[in-house]
Structure 1
């Protein structure tokens, strides 16, 4: 289960919650955290389907790295409702260097566990993952 390169395991709950978001739309977003002592990625928080993008961004800590998945609903120029699943690697400049390294080295493997991600964003400050950025990347 653990990857020799990064040593991080992915808790089964991470995949289960993602499948629920993707298939059943049970959640609006999921925030994942690397639990360094247990050497695994765990689910830190899930957002209700009615939660807004602001609720989602507020759930990311200002000075710690996280992975997150956000289910973004939008309407195309042709007035067609659509949805995109975003994977966001949140690595603020103020995070510890060790933390940034662990998140960076574990990202690709973790992302592979979540089958169905459509757009990936890397963000070091809130402006890099603002709603305008999400909207422009979704279409």
Structure 2
């Protein structure tokens, strides 16, 4: 169990283990994280091995914030397949203000705990997290 310091939010051991299972063990394709009910710890909401990006998008709530990690695979012409781990801070415009504020202020607690992230995405609507948008982000600087 993680120790709290003051009012800060911490990433649970389970959250960190799931990330390592995705990164090192390739056990998952994506992980959704949420704050526990007392807003003191970041926990795993769901982990999936579905390779369909639309399955991932379908899991993003229309009216609430969350964090997500996605093992994004893509192909560059003449260079073959690549894989980048992407961190999403999902905070749709329709989410409650308090939820957006809590998630924005606690993002660093999770983000700092995860090593090996290639890209950070701030999503407020589905166009910002579309496959093509993420592909453009992760493939920049790799040509």
**TM-superposed deviation, 1:47:** 1.2
So what's the TM-score if we normalise by structure 1? 0.92
Q: CA deviation at 1:53?
A: 0.5
**CA offset at residue 77 of structure 1?**
2.5
Stretches of structure 2 that go unaligned for 5 or more consecutive residues are: none
Q: What CA distance in whole angstroms lies between the structure 2 residues aligned with 1:3 and 1:53? A: 37
* Superposition RMSD in Å: 1.3
Question: How does the TM-score come out when normalised to structure 2?
Answer: 0.90
Does residue 19 in structure 1 map to residue 20 in structure 2? yes
What SS does the corresponding residue of 1:113 show, helix, strand or coil? Answer: coil
Give the corresponding residue for 2:99.
Answer: 99
- Alignment partner of 1:125 is 2:128: no
CA 1:3–1:99 in structure 2 vs 1: closer, same or farther (change >3 Å)? farther
Deviation track 1:46-87 (CA, whole Å, cap 9, x = no partner) reads 111x43100001111110000000001111222321100000
Distance 1:27 1:118, change over 3 A: same
Q: Tell me: CA distance 1:39–1:46, structure 2 relative to 1, closer, same or farther (3 Å).
A: same
- What is the rounded CA distance, in whole Å, between the counterparts of 2:47 and 2:68 in structure 1? 10
